Structure 1
């Protein structure tokens, strides 16, 4: 599906309770597949929002690397600013901004680090250059200049030159966002958009609510 066709389809789209999949993660997976088929750039890109210990909010784009009944998984440096925020607050929100489809999905909930086994399984799929970069970069730390970063990368490349497989850094891994609320937003004409949210109940089941646009 081309982006032009995606735009035409988006103008005709609607979203009602009867249209939803049986669970939030199946619905999200379906929308992600449609965004991918439409040729959107980085369809698994999402904006991650966190808050630090002073209550200051911060956002940045990360890549969703897993969706299942547990939640949403992404990977990063555990010493980064985002990880410090996540470790202190244990909460986060992400938004998938599929503008060309007139869609977005917002997920809010709690976070936990994934197992080292899950991290290792994903790490093995990463290009070697990305693996070396994860070792070389002290993410979010102040650097004296680009040269210092390039020197760190070159030193890391030499360090692991004789190894066929680069090991997982102890300071790198995945975070799992466990949803308490997942809102699906479908744009409609005249600003009469469709907003349907899966909201977690105390018994861990989800109910669906329609929200005013």
Structure 2
């Protein structure tokens, strides 16, 4: 009875050396890798990216006029600039925090025309003519916004990093009428993450502001 082994498992004849003519498997792999690198470096990089340096350096920008915390502003920005970066880097409004920068934590929440948005996912150039409200625009002089005061009354924060986004989201939640119960508030505030775990007190602050207490 004979057993036929797969080609890769058949041992070479005793005393047989690798062929002296033609590329070996090792040589073939090494050569292919080297050639591939040359193709990528010379063909793709050299051909498509470096052939037109001016195209690579071109940055498209646009002008946008918007009202931020009651002040009309007109700026020219890179079309890729997020509202969050515009607020923080251009306007110096650093209350809106950059957490995940992917719309998952809610630390950057602001109001645009009264509706809450994740400013890290919102392109600034698309906000022509809108009104933006950040945490800096809530207080009236020394008079805090009712939800800001409620956060203090209920001790609804610890480290405070998420607090600006929580407050703006809470205001949006109240304006949208999603405060019928603690469960409803939790549901509609679920996009705002508090790493310190102050959720119970945050809900109480929103309830207090909505007039449920």
TM-score (normalised: structure 1): 0.19
Which has more strand, going by share of residues?
1
Which structure exhibits the higher relative contact order, with contacts defined as CA atoms closer than 8 Å and separated by 6 or more residues? 1
TM-score normalised by the chain length of structure 2: 0.19
